[in-house]
Chain A
Amino acid sequence: MTALLNAVAYDAWVLHALVWLPLVGMAWVLASSEEQAKHVAFRVSTALFVLSLGLWSAFEPGSAELQFASSTPWIDAWGIDYALGLDGLSLVLVLLTTFTMPLAILGSFRYIETKQKGFYALMLLLQTGVVGVFAASDLFLFYVFFELTLVPMYFIVGIWGGERRVYAAVKFFLYTAFGSLLMLVAILYLYVQTRGDLGYASFAFADLAQANLSLNEQLWLFSAFALAFAIKVPVFPLHTWLPDAHVQAPTPGSVVLAAVLLKMGTYGFVRFLLPFFPEAAQHPTVVTVMIVLGVIGIVYAAWVAAVQPDAKKLVAYTSVAHMGFVVVGVFALTVNGLQGAIMVMIAHGVSTGALFLLLGMLYERRHTREIADFGGLGRAAPWLATAFVITALASIGLPGTSGFPGEFLALLGLFETHPVLGVIAATGVIFAAYYMLPMVQRIFFNALDRDENREVEDLSGREIAVLAPLVAAMIVLGVFPNAVFERTEPTVRAVLERVEAAAPAPAVEIGMDTTDTDEEGGR
């Protein structure tokens, strides 16, 4: 495998191909007929997934350096480069994206009935944006991709969404644009500062991280960046756009939104907040605020989810809760916490993506999302029920599924630094069962007392093809989480070293004594 990859100089072109080929696919979709559009889009995204698999074997674990890196001047006068590269964190997120996209497209074959060409073209445009976000190693380039994802998502929600689609689309757009534009000013501030310190203009991550900032400046910039990413994540209390967008979006839109778009926010936490503003990031007030918001998100979202009559809205709120685990994991500032946070990102992408696909399948059959309208589907559609139950358990975080290792480590990290908050956050795991299991019971188990429900068909071949890889991923990630951990660990350690190097005094001894527990917990 490695020999083959070397023979075709895979390292040199793969990232460019993953970023730009979706656009070629988009042109292909637009050139094809209305009926063929979905097949073209599926073929393109599958081919891209196959292409991206090489990343896994070509990636050198154990190194925090950027791999597959390349850099070409883009806007030379301002030191802006077209620079791509992957480390462990971006690797897993790129793979998550390329893995999710074909499944989301395949899962939308029946759901999207109008203007199919436009829809699939936008999906591929979205893929370019998301892969670009995770692969960019130049802050300006990152920002362009980060914003670029908004446009396709706006139209996907606004054109193919539910009844209140325009409201949801505009709210989503304005909310996220508000955050990211403020971040833009912060980026320029950081840039001007770096230019003064280094003597040359650059937007490269590595250069910007060297800016010489006072604590006060760091706190301001941290706030601007954190606001942008916290809206995207979303962190309580900035989450209100999410239920609207999720519920109104068409199934594939919700899948991509949950599986990858939210990760752009948490990715930003790890990629920028900690290494760029290490002093601010470990400032006790900042840490407390962020963790408390994360914990509130976990608990509050769980409670709200539990009372939702609409299954899609319920799942939307579980996203807020899961993202809360990511936030507490990141701001625990320990190896365990960060590793757990990254794992939760992946696991949430897989399990929540699958949940939205399953709800979409239910909707295609029954044209309702009200939990009360279902009941006893387990007898009518046993395979559907099986897939749903496994996915729900993975979402709850049952050991042996993908949900467990991440949440466990994130909580472990939190216990190491903030035991009391850790206890409160841990109750979120119980609440997860409290909202998820009754839903499963009311949809699939109770009495099969409605005629419409008796006629619900079981999974079709296409639907099995959509769900099987996701279910497999849940199990594999649950049983062999180490495959991910060993690739992300160097990145995590590099980030924490940077944070510790900036520690003001030995009074704050964060993460120094966590190596041992990591051996037990992480491996």
Chain B
Amino acid sequence: MTLDFVSTLDYVWALLPEFILCAWGIVILLMGVSGKRNPASAGDAAAEMPSHDLGYLTLAGIVAAAVANGWLYGVTEVGSAGLVVVDQFRLFANWIFLLAAALAVLMSFTYVYRQRLQAGEYYALILFATAGTMFMAGARDLIVVFLGLEVMSISVYALTAFNRRDRRSAEAGLKYFILGAFSTGFFLYGLALVYGATGTTNVDAIGEAVRTGAAQETLLLFGIAFLAVGFAFKVGVVPFHMWTPDVYEGAPTPVTAYMAVAVKAAAFVAFFRVFLVGFLGAYAAWYPIVWWIAAVTMVVANILALAQFNVKRMLAYSSIAHAGYLMVALAAANDRASAGMLFYLLIYAIMNMGAFAVVVIVGRQGEESLEIDDYAGLGASNPMLAVFLTVFLLALAGFPGTAGFMGKIFLLQGAADSRLWVLSIVLVLMTVVSYYYYLRLAWYVWMRDARDPSRNGELFVPLPMRFALGAGAAALILLGVFPAATMDFAQTSVAAVSAFPEALASLIP
């Protein structure tokens, strides 16, 4: 099928996965309202087995969107006038978002029930947020990036504050909303300035204008800077990371996991497309900024993570650190680095969701037992769970034998191609630092006895969660041993954004 975006109907086809998610979200929303599930009366129903109908229905919607996403591989696009793109870069990113959404839903089944959250709204918001992330990845126009950003952000603000019985959740939601709105302001201002400089909001046309020097330089530079701030806030890199630990800690844990993965991934994908397609001609101007952000993020996040004894907070800082590693790929700005970014985000989705899933289980499907002490003796009481957690931690640490290592190597290869040796050294040194806090959790799990023997029993792991954990850990090891096919897939997926001129390398000092 060929799309040229002359007819409006073409947009329906090009955005089929997004439309499916939105429509499905509305259906779920209505079912949640009309259904018999009344959370207020769930107290006396606690003895009953929870019903997961809505959860399974949500998964079905995600699968339907995935099918549509697969179908889009057969669609070719003509010209670059459309507001959205159909290229493999977008489609690969969509896999990541759908995977993250599916894992978040699997993690939420029992959580939603135990915390007496309104399942309909909850699942619908996850679907809407996912549609937003996919808009961002597929945007060829800064306006569409902005639309996607808002659809995603507003859904996630609501999800963050979703646990209305929990003060921390409300606080996190408000904090996230205020700071998020502030950063959106930056983004919009940057957008306006770029439009003023180039006379267009189409990323391809911006790229052309910047390359030929037709853009008004001062306006453009300010525009780039403001857009960078907007993106940097969403991906959560230093010095725009201040909200991250508080929000991640306060939000319901499955939402935290979703935020740390899908929101970050969407922002990164859009960040890459806008900067590498739109602003590549101004690489010399933004390269030092990205370089410093990457370096400072890696150092600050890893060192602050050392001081965290709350596991959720520790994972929050760890996710900032991972954003720092991904910024190295942006600084490298070559196609291997972009492919590495995609591959790393995929791996990161699995390993981070896995780690958060364990947090949900150890927290007894609630917001308790988040301290590292609560993990002491887990290896003795729940050996399988502890093994899974260890695999996720080793992968996050980037250890050989797990996919996390292959992801890091991919990023380092990209950095090596651009000869970013100093940044590479910072990356590996900070990896050593990160070993310490990941291993600290592992040693609590395996090498300490439980503080309170009465809580030493076997934890309840619902079946969907077991499936998610087992599949995640297996995937991490499998991709750690046989990464070649997935790596090649990532590499071919960046063809659309990889028109990097050779001359680029000479810009790097």
Contacts and interface: CB of A to CB of B under 8 A. Distances in A.
Contacts of B401: 144, 147-148, 151
Contacts of A143: 400
Interface residues of A, number: 32
A182 B425 contact: yes
A244 to B, nearest CB: 15
A159 B447 contact: yes
Given A173-B439, A188-B412, A182 B400 contact: no
Contact of B421 (A147, A154, A159, A185): A185
B417 interface: yes
Contacts of B432: 174, 177-178, 181
A189 interface: yes
A165 B439 contact: no
Interface stretch (B31-39, B117-125, B230-238, B484-492): B484-492
A143 B488 CA distance: 22
B400 A74 contact: no
A174 B435 contact: yes
Contact of A77 (B417, B435, B440, B484): B484
B483 A75 contact: yes
Given A144-B400, A144-B401, A166 B431 contact: no
A166 B435 CA distance: 14
B443 interface: yes
B447 A173 contact: no
B287 interface: no
Nearest to A167: B443
Given A148-B400, A148-B401, A189-B416, A184 B435 contact: no
A63 B145 CA distance: 64
**Looking at chain B's contact residues, is the secondary structure mostly helix, strand, loop, or mixed?**
helix
A189 B443 contact: no
A248 to B, nearest CB: 11
**Looking at chain A's contact residues, is the secondary structure mostly helix, strand, loop, or mixed?**
helix
B467 interface: no
Interface in B419-471: 419, 421, 424-425, 428-429, 431-432, 435-436, 439-440, 443, 446-447
B309 interface: no
Given A158-B446, A166-B447, A169-B443, A77 B488 contact: yes
Contact of B435 (A155, A158, A177, A185): A177
Contact of A165 (B413, B436, B440, B447): B447
Interface in B479-502: 483-484, 487-488, 491
B491 A77 contact: yes
B394 interface: yes
Contacts of B95: none
Interface in A158-213: 158-159, 165-166, 169-170, 173-174, 177-178, 181-182, 184-185, 188-189, 191-192
A115 B123 CA distance: 42
The 5 closest A-B CB pairs, nearest first, are: A181-B428, A147-B400, A144-B400, A188-B416, A75-B484
Interface of B: 394, 399-401, 405, 409, 412-413, 416-417, 419, 421, 424-425, 428-429, 431-432, 435-436, 439-440, 443, 446-447, 483-484, 487-488, 491
22 contacts: A76-B484, A78-B413, A143-B400, A147-B400, A147-B401, A148-B401, A151-B399, A155-B446, A158-B446, A158-B447, A165-B447, A170-B436, A174-B436, A178-B429, A181-B431, A184-B428, A185-B412, A185-B425, A188-B413, A188-B424, A189-B416, A189-B421
